[in-house]
Structure 1
Amino acid sequence: MHFTKAKGILSSKNGMNLFRGCTHGCIYCDSRSKCYQMNHKFEDVEVKENGISLLEESLKRKRKKCMIALGSMTDPYIKEELKLNYTRQALEIVNKYGFGITLITKSANVLRDLDLFKEINSKTKCVIQMTLTTYDEELCKEIEPNVSTTKERVEALKILFGIICFGMGVTLREGNREYFYSHLDKKFPKLKERYIREYGNNYVANSVNNKKLMGVFHEFCGRNGIVHDNEAIFNYLGLFEGKDISKQLSFFDEV
């Protein structure tokens, strides 16, 4: 872990990452791709030491409330966060100035900040997105060794709910692809060759059973009243709403 001073914190679409790099160890991580120009060892997490002050200054100046997105590049609840509390400080500022939050994580440690999520959600809107990769806990340990187990994430989703699914597979591009293949060679001999034959240099590498599996997914969600339409979900994620928010589409369980 090392520290740096950032020039800015919010993107043009109001997304932010307090960290660059990750220690989750997921072998398929898109953030390793060369297009993101991460010029340091990926596991040597870069911390934006002035990120919290930059965020406060940015939100002070904003004339219009909006949703603030956290975690698109680096999980906000990597192990370093549990000592630094940068994510919690950022949530406190978002809450202080009355903005909404949407956050992506693979960690059950997200529940640490449940009090803040509830408070933000009572005023505006709070959406937590959590990745689930496999039901097989042994496989989980192989492909994403330092994240919460699938069971731990499912338990968290009993409190935080809503499902978005882009397909049954992975995305692969330069940098990310090479790292993924190197780990396939170590953990699953000969599987790399099957990927190369099937997908070549395609960005999207979906399962050959993708259509069937997605049918099962959508049928299950529809039967259980779970919102699963991606377009509706993305519209919801980006829409800031005040106190009188509609209860028709809700992703946060008030407990």
Structure 2
Amino acid sequence: MIKEIRAKKILSNLKNPDPWFGIKYNMNLYRGCEHGCIYCDSRSQCYQIDNFDIIHVKINALELLKKELSSKREKGTVGTGSMSDPYIPIEKELRLTREALKVIASYYFPVHVITKSDLVVRDKDILQDINRIYGAVSFTITTCDDDLAKKIEPRAPSPSSRYRAMEILAEAGIYTGLTMMPILPFIEDDEENIRCIVEKAAAHGAKYIIPSFGMTLRDKQRAYYYKQLDRLFPELRRKYEVKYGNQYICSVNNAHKLIGKFKELCNRYNIKIVMDKYHGDNSEQLSLF
């Protein structure tokens, strides 16, 4: 279901650019998501989205974006994709993300797009324009197995499609890599999966991989995830309950070993584990480990 809404503002300011993604201004053009990922943290109660599967389109987003960018005294990276994927299927018709990127380009702001969709390739021309200042596209990939991805991310394009899109953008000179998160305990936390993700990333032009070896689980998000586990992996819910209880941060099994293997592979393929960010007045980078 699609609903139109009018937003009060479109950019949320971060006091300091976040150390993982370098984002200073966060932009969500849509509220809710069509991809149906079983693990999505945005289902949590704190985000106050009653039904995450209903898509709310912010019909005044472009008007607000122009007004807000024109008033910004500090240039910083505009990030999109943290709460709702900017390239959900309805974007193919509405083209709201494409038009927003045009606005951002016209004000000479840097951009970091995070997505699970190969639709981002459509906007390669605008991203190349933005990239004269700074433009990054991160594809979220947590498994190389298209069949497994179809279960846990049922309406998102396959990992294979995302890798192909990454290669196209990389060949166009756009800074691109992966957000390898979440890694689902008991489902994706094995060395073979990590090896496959890194090797395919290297083969398709990734310059960086931002990892998180685990997942979050809280309130409504946990309830939804466990319901999906009961349907898809009925033997796993009890393992989660025993191991994690009511924990919010749920680290994978053998995290230390997997992190070591991940770093070894990234070093072998010359892939960074901290992305280069828009410098502005601060060129400091922080280590994740």
Q: Same fold (TM over 0.5)?
A: yes
- With 89-98 and 8-17 compared, the bigger mean Cα shift is at 8-17
1:56-113 CA distance string (max 9 Å, x none): 0111122332211111100000001111100001100000010000111111111111
The correspondence for 2:29, drawn from 2, 18, 35, is 18
CA offset digits 1:146-175 (Å, max 9, x no partner): 1111111122222233210021x2211111
Give 1:150's match in structure 2, choosing from 144, 153, 159.
Answer: 159
Q: 1:106: which partner in 2?
A: 116
State whether structure 2 residue 217 is matched by structure 1 residue 216. no
Structure 1, unmatched stretches of 5+, are 246-255
TM superposition score normalised by structure 2: 0.78
Task: Kindly provide the amino acid, as one letter, of the partner of residue 29 in structure 1.
Answer: C
Match of 2:222 in 1: 177
Q: Post-superposition shift, 1:16?
A: 1.0
Tell me if the contact between 1:30 and 1:171 (Cα under 8 Å) persists in the aligned partners.
Answer: yes
SS of 1:82's partner is helix
Larger mean Cα displacement after TM superposition, 172-181 or 204-213: 204-213
Q: For 1:126 and 1:30, how far apart are their aligned partners in 2? A: 25
Q: Is 1:37 matched up with 2:48?
A: yes
Match of 2:179 in 1: none
Aligned residues: 234
Gaps of 5+ in 2: 15-24, 171-175, 177-205, 284-289
Instruction: Tell me whether 1:121 sits opposite 2:149 in the alignment.
Output: no
> Matches of 1:144 and 1:201 in 2, distance apart?
24
Q: Counterparts of 1:1-255 in structure 2 under 5 Å?
A: 1-13=2-14, 14-39=25-50, 41-122=51-132, 124-158=133-167, 159=170, 160=176, 161=206, 162-167=208-213, 169-229=214-274, 233=275, 236-237=276-277, 239-240=279-280
Tell me how far apart the structure 2 counterparts of residues 237 and 28 of structure 1 sit (CA, whole Å).
Answer: 27
Deviations 1:1-30 (A, max 9, x none): 101111111102211100110110100000
Q: 1: distance between equivalents of 2:277 and 2:114? A: 11
SS of the aligned residue for 1:6 comes to: coil
Contact 2:7 2:61 in 1 (8 A): yes
Moved over 3 A (4+): 236-241
CA RMSD, Structure 1 to Structure 2 (Å) = 1.5
Contact 1:25 1:145 in 2 (8 A): yes
Q: Which moved more, 1:88-97 or 1:211-220?
A: 211-220
Q: Among the aligned pairs, what percent are the same residue?
A: 42
Give the C-alpha shift of residue 43 in structure 1.
1.1
Higher RCO (C-alpha 8 Å, min separation 6): 1
- Structure with more of its chain in strand, by fraction: 2
Is the 8 Å Cα contact of residues 106 and 132 (structure 1) preserved in structure 2?
Answer: yes
Q: TM-score, normalised by structure 1?
A: 0.88
